[in-house]
Structure formats: structure tokens, C-alpha cells
Amino acid sequence: MKSRHTLALQLMFVIGVLVTALWLILASWLLYGVRNEVRNTLDDRLAASAQMVASLMRRQQLSATTVTEIIDHASESTPEYPSMRACRVSDLRGEVLALSKGAPQGVLESVLADGYVNRAFDGEVWRVYSLTVDTLRITTADRVSTRESLLTSVVLAAALPFGLALAGTLILLWFGIRWGLKPLQQLSYSVATRDLHDSAPLEWAGGPAEVKPLVDEINRLLLRVQQAVLRERRFTGDAAHELRTPLTAIKTQLQVARITRGTSAQHALHQAEQGVERLQSMLDQLLLLARLEGNAAFEDAAITTADEIGSMALSEVISKAEHKNVRLAYQIGCAEPIATPGALAVAALRNLLDNAIKASPPASQVSVVSICEHGFCTWVIRDQGQGVAEEQLQQVVNRFVHFDMAGSGLGLAIVQTIVNRFGGSLELANIAPQGFEARLTLPLLTD
Amino acid sequence: MYVLIVEDDDLVGDGIKAGLEALGFTTDWVRTSAAADTAVATVTHDAVVLDLGLPDMDGLKLLSRWRAQGRNLPVIILTARDAVPERVAGLQAGADDYLTKPFDLSELEARLHSLIRRAHGRATNTIRYGQFIFDPVKQQVMVNNQPVVLTRRELTLLQALLLHPGRILAPGQLQDQLYGWSDGVESNAVAVHVHNLRRKLGEESIETVRGVGYRIAGLTQ
């Protein structure tokens, strides 16, 4: 996992580039200034030399030979400060009065205007200064290459500490970033080495406040994941229990049938068959629930009306009701099509009717009334049973919660899932003086 | 051997009862922990088969309560949940053994025999007393190394007496062992079976203690 260092590298890159760019701009600005300053200083020296020669010649009436000696001396005496390399003194007609040793004639002669000019001669560039005083023209010149090497040594002397300081800044920056990101690294380490069942929240007591919201969110997520894991574990435990119980019944009864004879064996086989039926209905319910939750498509081309759904659901439970001597009363009242796939609407209504019949005492009545209004169809199913304890009303829609042995505990969970998915509702309530009422509401099909 | 079955599921309970009875056990079957409590307080069972998911009280709580009350009868728990913590909790609550559903009847039978044997401090299933050798698994009895043919009721009665040698068992207790609790039977049924046993095993094999009950005699001839 290299990505742990990405933030540090990214910060280092951005800040490093910005700092370096800033330093380089500053450096070139300084360089530019120094360069100009050095040039001006050297130019001033060139001019000062010319003026010195001029004043010497004028005030003290020195001979040209003496002047030549002086300018030779001046140009040679300080070779490490080679500001002036050549000098010529002439009259206005161009007659040379004095010329420094080794001075290039071509550079110094025939300069007419006073001031600075660059001249190329013999493959070298010279900086030339001319000054006219009375009848004398004094011309001085420097090699530009000499000037440049001086400039370069000045720049180099300044650049070394500058570069060291930049490198030092970048190194300090890197350590600073690493130090600043240390809490994050520790956090990621503690997340990476975390035990799957550890429900303790992540610690962020001393860390930067900017990251606190993230840590809080992670902690909230951890809590939700823990709860989901617990729920899943409970669900698989419940599912195992509910599937194994009929399986146990079948296995045990079959073994009894093998070791007994006659009516006992017949009874055991009959019981085993009942176990198979229970297992089958449990599996059907579980698969339906899984399909509902898996968002599987329910292909149901035929549009089904509320009354058709009612009669289909009733036809599935009528034998159970007769078996228990429970009268089913269905009041037709709605021929409008339902938006929910017919098979699911029938399953929901059938599950509610199943529960009502199971809860009914013998020789009682289960009534179903369908009401269509405001774009919804509501089936009201009432039985005359004992109802459900108020404190258990909230739990009955949970999976595997059941109050009788034969139930899977999935019936109401399926109804709840169907109404949730198709925009309906399920309301359960005890009714006075005795009985239970379930209201199943599903949206009508609108054009 | 007399076993109490505590199982709330109709099909499973019916199966265990029918199966164990076919294998020579006498059984009582109750569906709730309240009924189990009453049964344990009223009748002396040799072992209990206890389902954990009971409607009124968790089987583990019931078991813990029995153990706290000093009821030491062997208990084998049945559970449809196979998670290890569940089993550990069961054994810690005082269960002597556990079986995961679905199970084999033969395994339940073997474990019940082994539990009852251990509860009576025997190393093998066979009960030896005096001249008697009783094999509860094969449901066979030998007297002086000769097999004796007994009916199922007679075997059950002899086994009950042999499991508690030296103790006097009241006719009511023996009747429970024969028919299970609260089964309506004629009150002289025990006397009839004792009579038949004496006829087959010898008059002095079962001792009558007047006004109290019956006791196995060593047959020390």
C-alpha cells in the first residue's frame, strides 16, 4: 500500500515546487540587480579613469610620454581588478598623443561621440568610453569577457549559500510534512491492524482538528458495520434454526418409521411428510424474500385488479379456513388495477390471511374488506383471535419472529418487504373487544 | 430408562418420543419450560433431552436454574444453532452433552445410555448386580449367564430397579418409569409386572417392602 505516502509526496511536490519557484524568481531578480550594479560600477570606473587622465594632462601639462606611463601603470598595476585595459589620448583631429601598451588601436580610434559604446575587434568585444575635454579626446576600453568573468565569479559566490539554503529548506519541509502527517499514519496503521470484531472507536485525541470529522465519520461507519454484521449473524443463526427444525423432524420421523411397524410407522411417515411441507413453504418464503431484497425483476405482464387479487388470495387459504371451521367473509369493492405485480400482491394478502386464520378460534370469522380511494387500495383483514401483545407489535414484522410453531416467522417480513418496495404500507393493530386487524395498502395503477 | 423430552416443536417432539420409545425408553414429552419444571419436580427421570429454543423461557436459563436448585440429573441439549459459543454456553450452563439438529436417533440413544451410565458411576453400559447382567442397549437380561426372555414392560421395570440397587422404589415411581408421567393406567399394573418378573427370575429376585415399595434383591444363591 504505497498510497499511504501519497499525501506527503503530494504536499512535498506542491510546496517544494512553489518554494523553489519563489526562490528562483527572487534569485534571478537579485542576479539582475547585481549584474546591473556591477556593470554600472565598471562603467563608472571606465569613465573615472578617462577623467583622471584628462585632469592629469590638463592641470599638470604632462607630456604624452608621462601620460602613457601613467596609463600603462594604471592598467597593469591591478591585474585582479582589470577594469581598465586600454587608454588612448588624442587631439580632436585624431592625432594620437598617448596610447597604453598593447591597446588595440582599432577599438580606440575614431570614436566621435562621447559616452559608452560596445565595439567588436579582432574577435573580442570591448566596452569603450570616450571623453572630450578641451582639445583632447580620451578613450578608455575594457574587455567585455573580463567583465563577464568578474560578474560570473560574483554570481557564483552568491549562488552557493543560496542553493544550500534552498536545499536545507526543502529537507526541513519534508521532515515537517512527515511529522505533520504522523497522526494520519498512526491512524491508518491502527485501522490496518484492527481486529474484525473490535468495536472500539478510533482514537483521535491529540490529532489535528481537520481530520476529526473524518475520524468521527469512520467511527460512525464502524458502528453501522458492526450492527450490520451482528444483524447478519443473527439472521443466519435464525435461518439455520428455522431450516434445521423441520429437517430434524423429517429425519427423526423417517428413522422412527424405519425402526417401527404398522400404525406407528405410518404415523411417522405422515409426520415426515408434514415436515417436508413445512420445509418447502419455509424455503419458498425465504427465496421470495431473497428475490424481493435482491431487487429481482418480477415479470407480471397481466394487470390485476384489487378484486382479482382478493379472490386469488382467498382461494389459496380457503381449505385451511374450512379445516379450522373459520368463515371467510370477503367484501368486493374495488375493480381497479394494482400497480404491484399480481403474484406479489396475492402473496402479501395470502400471508395476512394465513396469519388471521391461524389466530382465529374455531367457528369464528375472518373478514376482508377492500377499499379503493385516493390512488390506493387498502385491504382490511380482521380476525377474532387473541391479537398480539402490544409490546410485541413492533417485532412481528421482523424475520423469524413467530408466536406459533408452524409459522416460518417470514410471512409478515415478506409483506413488509413487498409494501416497502412497491410504495405501500402495512398497519397492524389489536381491535376491541377481541381480535386483530391488518391493513394492507398498495398503490393503484395510474395512467 | 425414563427420559423427559422438552421440545416445543410438534413434529420434532413427536419424532423423538416415538423413536426413543421404539428403542426401549419410557418418555415424557413437554413443550414448555414451565411444564418441564413441574415434571422434573414431580417425577424422577433418568435423563432430560432439552431443546434450547423454548417459547416461554430459554432452555439454558431453565437448565441453569435446575443446576442452581441442585438437580443433578443428566441433561443433553438439542440445538439447531451450531455456533461454537452456543455450545460452550450450553455446557457452561450445566449440560452434560449436546446434539446439533438434525441428529441421528441412534446417536441420541447412545449418548443417553452413556449419560445415564456415567450418572450411575458405571464404566460400561451393562449393569451387573448379583447374578444379573443387564444390557440396556440390546435390551437383554442374563441370569446366571443364561438369557431370560422378558417383555418390554418387564425389562423397563427390572432396569429401573437395577439402576437403583438397594433403594426402595414406590409403585407410583415404577409406574412412571413404565408408562411415563400422567398416563392413565390401572393401579395394579406394577404389581402384575412384578409378579411376572418373579415368575421368570425367581420369587426372591424382587423384595416387597410393605407399605413402601419394591427393591431388587441380589439373588445371592
The answer to whether the beta carbons of residues A275 and A249 sit under 8 Å apart is yes
The answer to whether the beta carbons of residues B1 and B125 sit under 8 Å apart is no
Name every residue whose Cβ is closer than 8 Å to that of residue A171 and which is 6 or more positions away in sequence: none
* Structure confidence at residue B221 (pLDDT): 41
- C-alpha gyration radius of chain A: 52
Put simply, whether B58 touches A (Cβ < 8 Å) is no
Nearest CA-CA distance, residue B65 and chain A, Å: 24
* Structure confidence at residue A267 (pLDDT): 92
The answer to whether the beta carbons of residues A298 and A345 sit under 8 Å apart is no
Please report which helix (H) or strand (E) contains residue A73, including its range: helix A64-77
Q: What's the CA gap between B72 and B115, in Å, rounded?
A: 12
B91-114 confidence digits (pLDDT tens):
888 889 888 888 999 999 999 999
Task: Walk along chain A (447 residues) and give the pLDDT tens digit of each residue.
Answer: 445 457 788 888 899 999 999 988 988 898 888 888 888 888 888 888 888 888 877 776 666 667 667 666 655 545 444 445 677 887 777 777 777 766 666 767 666 678 888 887 777 788 888 888 877 788 888 888 888 888 888 888 888 888 898 899 999 988 998 888 888 888 888 888 887 777 778 887 777 788 888 888 888 888 888 888 877 777 777 777 778 888 999 999 999 999 988 898 999 999 999 899 888 888 887 887 777 776 666 665 566 888 888 888 888 888 888 888 888 888 877 788 888 877 788 888 888 888 888 888 888 888 888 888 888 888 898 888 877 777 777 777 776 666 555 566 777 888 888 888 888 888 888 888 888 888 888 888 876
Task: State which residues of chain B have pLDDT below 50.
Answer: 219-221
**Which residue in A has a C-alpha nearest to residue B101's C-alpha?**
A248
Put simply, whether B101 touches A (Cβ < 8 Å) is yes
* Structure confidence at residue A297 (pLDDT): 65
- Phi, psi (degrees; rounded to nearest 5) at A216: -60, -45
Distances (CA, A) of A10 to A17, A178, A210, A351: 11, 12, 18, 60
CB contact under 8 A, A251 and B102: yes
Put simply, whether B85 touches A (Cβ < 8 Å) is no
Q: Which residues of A touch B83 (CB under 8 A)?
A: 237
| Residue of B12, B80, B104 lying closest to A240 (CB–CB) | B80
CB contact under 8 A, A274 and B23: no
Please report which helix (H) or strand (E) contains residue B156, including its range: helix B152-163
